[in-house]
Amino acid sequence: MSENALYTDLSSYYDLMCADIDYKAQSSSIRRLHQIFGNDGNTHLDLGCGTGPHVRHFIDFGYQSHGLDLNQPMLDIATVRCPEAQFSLQNMSEFKVAEPLDLITCFLYSIHYNDGIEKLKECIKSVHRALKADGIFCFNVVDKNKINNDSFIKHTAKQENNVFTFRSGWNYCGDGEKQSLQLSIEKTNDEETQLWNDEHPMVAFSFDELTEMLKPYFEVHIFEHDYEKIVPWDETSGNAIFTCVKI
């Protein structure tokens, strides 16, 4: 199975796979951070937007919201969900926008899809170029040094006569700039059980390393990975929300 095959083949199941995610709470939290740190503008771009659920909420909040992704089947679904938005098939490492933006987001750890540290640095530069003065870049990340390879999340969902079991977890060898997201999807009905396994290579970094990459371009604020309240990062947890103000 190719690197992107699972998402391409199962794009119609993606929303089911993410059914437990509170997209509205995530979007509301970042909207609040934008209100606190931002420039009062309302133009927004979501990197790695997938099927567009975050874009949908930002539109409903009154933003001129758009998205980009590398997966066209995902963008096709996003276009139906958000007909007001423009979606583009671009790589977040080297994207371009027509006009500078007030807010750029990257949810669901998608910034880790940059292919290595150099591509991540290019992504940071691309975001900086795409933002207006005092524009905001918000995203969530995992610290490579805090990854527990034995930890995973699992949930089940029903669609028509099928029961789906989704399982995902991080894996890091303990050295270097590569980690992976391991995924499995089991589809069961009265006739058969099908199983997909896939492993997505992702860039690995520590929060200290990431902060050093961001500092030439942004004023960096780090918060606990909690979309219900805004709490400064406690410097021990392995997940965080970075809020970066363009300088």
Q: What is the pLDDT of residue 210?
A: 98
Q: Is 116 exposed, middle or buried (0-12, 13-18, 19+ CB in 10 A)?
A: middle
Q: What is the pLDDT of residue 3?
A: 42
Q: What is the pLDDT of residue 10?
A: 62
Q: What is the pLDDT of residue 7?
A: 53
Any idea where the domains of the chain sit in the sequence?
5-144+204-246, 145-202
Fold for the domain defined by 5-144+204-246: Rossmann fold (3.40.50)
Average pLDDT of the chain is 94
| CA 112 distance to own-chain centroid | 8
- How many Å apart are CA 158 and CA 21, to the nearest integer? 16
Is residue 9 over pLDDT 60? no
What pairs with residue 239 in β-bridges?
142
Give which of 40, 94, 96 is closest to 66, Cα–Cα: 96
Q: Which residue has the higher pLDDT, 173 or 3?
A: 173
Q: What is the pLDDT of residue 4?
A: 46
Q: Give the class (CATH, top level) of 145-202.
A: mainly beta
Give which of 242, 205, 30 is closest to 121, Cα–Cα: 205
- How many Å apart are CA 242 and CA 247, to the nearest integer? 15
Contacts of 192 (CB under 8 A, 6+ apart): none
Q: How confident is the model at residue 1 (pLDDT cuts 50, 70, 90)?
A: very low
Contacts of 92 (CB under 8 A, 6+ apart): 47, 48, 68, 70, 106, 110, 111, 113, 114, 123, 126
Yes or no: say if 93 and 106 are a contact pair by the CB < 8 Å rule: no
- How many Å apart are CA 210 and CA 24, to the nearest integer? 27
32-65 pLDDT per residue, tens: 999 999 988 999 999 999 999 999 999 999 999 9
| CA gyration radius, the chain | 18
Structure tokens at 205: 């970094």
Q: What is the pLDDT of residue 137?
A: 98
Structure tokens at 16: 């089911």
Q: What is the pLDDT of residue 8?
A: 52
Give which of 82, 71, 83, 74 is closest to 113, Cα–Cα: 71
Q: What is the DSSP secondary structure assignment for residue 33, as one 8-state letter? A: H
Calculate the CA dihedral of residues 55, 137, 87, 167 and round it to 10 degrees.
Answer: -70
105-121 pLDDT per residue, tens: 999 999 999 999 999 99
